[in-house]
Structure 1
Amino acid sequence: MQELKERPARRSAPPARRRHRRRRPRARAWAAAGWAVLAAASAALVAWTVAAPHPRPDASAAGTAAGPRAGARDPAVVNGRRQPPPVRVPRAATGRYAAVPGTDPPPRRRGFVVQYMVEVERGLPFAPERFAAEVHRVLNDPRGWGRGGRLRFQRVAGGPVRFRVALSSPALTDRMCRPLDTRGQVSCHARGRAVLNARRWAQGAAPYRGDVAAYREYLVNHEVGHALGRGHRGCPAPGRRAPVMVQQTLSLYGCRANPWPYPRG
């Protein structure tokens, strides 16, 4: 009887139970959570844009004269690339597009020539000529849709075109993309127009971890991919490059960020 009374005392030691507690499994990222992540990331990026001081004209010269601090990290460089300066994008602008004047010739190589136009909504804080030049560079990159002489892209200012690339405020994006609900956050392809949300163009997206330059390349290639008849794809396997037609704005789904249709050129 005495032995039976002593057993509960030996069983009641709490440390043994604490050592054998099961760990909770990590939560998996689902596409349904992408909207919440995107909205939170946008709010954080907007706050950073508002708070970040704009450099004075002599700031770079002063920094060069003083020399960089030991171990200092330039916040404007991500993945070895200098990033675009922060820009505040209004929720709505004029609601009217203007075609970027002028033309850009196709590369001098073999391949079918595809003509396209670039439009920028009036009132957005972006230089139309610079935006058009970036779009043209991306489309004719060896890693782009024209790889291996498949296609060559020529920008024109008017006339019949295969597609249009239009930089749009969040409000105009929502209007142009209906019935798709873009919620002022994402972009789309609608009726022959690659509608690029200016908010995403300025801020990038959370899966790209601050690499706005690379995200802009993805955004052009993804939406123009729809204009060329490509549909959405999934991540082929964890750790692999995401196909450019994965909805990388929302999530990488276990893949690695990749802005190019043919990343190996």
Structure 2
Amino acid sequence: MVGAVLGVTLIGGVAVAQWPGGGPRAAVEPGNTVASPMEEQSPRPVDPTPAKASGDPGRQTGPSGSDGSDGQKETPVPPSGPGTFTAARASGKTVGTGGPLRRYQVQVEDGAGVSAAQAAVDVQAILSDGRSWAAHGKGRFQLVADGADVTIKIATPRTTDKLCAPVGDTGGELNCEVAGGVVVNLKRWVKGSPQYDGPPAEYRHLIINHEIGHLIGYHQHMGCPGPGRAAPVMMQQIKGLDGCKSNAWPYTAQGTFVTGPPAP
């Protein structure tokens, strides 16, 4: 279901790959090849505003609409695109105080209907949240316009399938972890997941946190720790919750790591 940005794991399936520096990863992109990014006009700083933390990671802000669109008019998702990407010309302050620094860039496929600049703000806000990895010494992350170590790409379902093909079948539905970054399925970014008890915008938190988790060393997926408990962020929640409550954050607002048994 749904990280340097991040590497990404098939949020629906698993394949083994190698990240620069060693360590098995979940999915590998075909050489991280993307057409020369079309860049927005000029770099601009991002002042990340962390999302408001809730006391219980299993308690979400509210159910999504029946169409999976948070009760709002559904945003259309183009099934395919040209395979070229626009890079967000944005930069931000380093988030986190411990661990290696990973500079990341956010790119959006042209014609996807999503602003690369806004997507960069969204990702930066997720990584700045007190319930995310950086706040707990698991790494430092910085949004950059150029010179990225990792790239987060938001792509249409068909383009996602092509980029993820070497590591597995994403079936127009899933995300994947790739060499040098992550590929996020536009459908999941816009519509969320039917399994996630929260608005689509909140499901984005799970996508990013799950994939960053793989990047920093949580290679093994986790299972539900028990009925009614919060699902670990490293659980493939898009495949079902097994009685757990959906949760998009690795830590609670009180700083407790949300864990579970190794997934089979």
Please say if 1:193 is aligned against 2:181.
Answer: yes
Cα shift at 1:256: 0.9
Distance 1:90 1:251 in 2: 26
Distance 2:204 2:138 in 1: 22
Map of 1:177 onto structure 2: 164
Map of 2:224 onto structure 1: 235
Cα shift at 1:111: 2.5
Distance 2:198 2:125 in 1: 21
Matches within 5 A, 1:1-265: 78=62, 83=70, 86-107=74-95, 110-112=97-99, 113-161=101-149, 163-178=150-165, 179-209=167-197, 211-231=199-219, 232-264=221-253, 265=255
CA RMSD of aligned residues (A): 2.4
Q: Tell me, yes or no, if the aligned pair for 1:195 and 1:223 is still in contact at 8 Å.
A: no
Distance 1:124 1:230 in 2: 30
TM-score normalized by the length of structure 2: 0.65
Counterpart AA for 2:133: W
Ranges of 4+ aligned residues in structure 1 off by more than 6 Å: none
Q: Tell me, yes or no, if the aligned pair for 2:139 and 2:216 is still in contact at 8 Å.
A: no
Higher relative contact order (CA closer than 8 Å, sequence separation 6+): 2
Q: Tell me, yes or no, if the aligned pair for 1:174 and 1:181 is still in contact at 8 Å.
A: yes
Map of 2:58 onto structure 1: none
Pair 160,131 (structure 1): closer, same or farther in 2 beyond 3 Å:
closer
Map of 2:40 onto structure 1: none
TM-score normalized by the length of structure 1: 0.65
User: How many residues are matched?
Assistant: 188
Counterpart AA for 1:173: T
Q: Tell me, yes or no, if the aligned pair for 1:147 and 1:262 is still in contact at 8 Å.
A: no
Cα shift at 1:169: 0.5
Distance 1:89 1:96 in 2: 17
Which sections of structure 2, spanning at least 5 residues, go unmatched? 1-11, 14-60, 256-264
Distance 1:229 1:205 in 2: 25
Q: How many percent identity over aligned positions? A: 37
Structure showing greater radius of gyration is 1
Distance 1:93 1:194 in 2: 18
Cα deviation, 1:97-129, whole Å, max 9, x if unaligned, reads 22211211124x633432111111111111111
Distance 2:250 2:198 in 1: 21
Cα deviation, 1:69-113, whole Å, max 9, x if unaligned, reads xxxxxxxx8359x95763111110111122211211124x63343
Question: Matched residue of 1:131: which SS?
Answer: helix
Q: Which has the higher helix share?
A: 1
Cα deviation, 1:122-142, whole Å, max 9, x if unaligned, reads 111111111110001101211
Cα deviation, 1:15-58, whole Å, max 9, x if unaligned, reads xxxxxxxxxxxxxxxxxxx99xxxxxxxxxxxxxxxxxxxxxxx
Question: Matched residue of 1:206: which SS?
Answer: coil
Pair 115,92 (structure 1): closer, same or farther in 2 beyond 3 Å:
same
Counterpart AA for 2:123: V
Pair 85,142 (structure 1): closer, same or farther in 2 beyond 3 Å:
farther
Pair 78,114 (structure 1): closer, same or farther in 2 beyond 3 Å:
same
